[in-house]
């Protein structure tokens, strides 16, 4: 399976904005490929400046550990892995980062920041569904 491509990244960004606007949120959204490289990023007007960095770190964390960032945070807490969130220049250990898997293979991740962790995760899941739809239509 190929890593996420430019068309898929743009669709994710558009879908994230669509969902955020429907929830009256201002977010930042980042898309990373399977090598944890940012391939797409968008900061909505009036989104928190700090959310730009957080969204990108969420996407990278979801790739590096191949799990949702809130699950990663739970593992850190339960296993008392003090300092783990500082690895690699800073990881994110709360909701809003989701890995994208197709047929069990990692193709990338999406990271959303700017609202509550639960809202960020909801926007990310909605946006990520776009990739699944594109993958299904390509078959």
pLDDT tens digits along 2-55 = 889 999 999 999 999 999 999 999 999 999 999 999 999 999 999 999 999 999
Q: Is residue 94 classed exposed, middle or buried when 0-12, 13-18 and 19+ CB atoms within 10 A define those classes?
A: buried
pLDDT tens digits along 67-94 = 999 998 988 888 888 777 777 777 888 9
Kindly report the pTM of this predicted structure: 0.92
- The answer to whether the beta carbons of residues 58 and 115 sit under 8 Å apart is no
Looking at CATH, the fold of the domain delimited by 6-138 is given as Beta-Lactamase (3.30.450)
| C-alpha closest to that of 113 among 131, 126, 94 | 94
User: pLDDT at position 76, please?
Assistant: 83
pLDDT tens digits along 103-120 = 889 999 999 999 999 999
- The answer to whether the beta carbons of residues 9 and 40 sit under 8 Å apart is yes
């Amino acid at each position: 399976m190929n890593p996420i491509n430019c068309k898929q990244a743009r669709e994710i960004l558009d879908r994230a904005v669509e969902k955020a606007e429907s929830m009256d949120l201002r977010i930042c959204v980042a898309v990373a490929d399977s090598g944890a490289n940012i391939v797409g990023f968008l900061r909505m007007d009036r989104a928190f400046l700090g959310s730009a960095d957080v969204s990108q770190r969420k996407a990278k964390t979801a790739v590096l550990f191949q799990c949702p960032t809130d699950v990663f945070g739970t593992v850190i807490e339960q296993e008392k892995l003090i300092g783990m969130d500082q690895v690699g220049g800073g990881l994110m250990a709360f909701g809003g980062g989701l890995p994208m898997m197709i047929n069990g293979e990692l193709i990338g991740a999406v990271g959303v920041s700017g609202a509550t962790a639960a809202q960020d995760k909801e926007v990310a899941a909605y946006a990520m569904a776009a990739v699944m739809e594109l993958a299904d239509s390509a078959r």
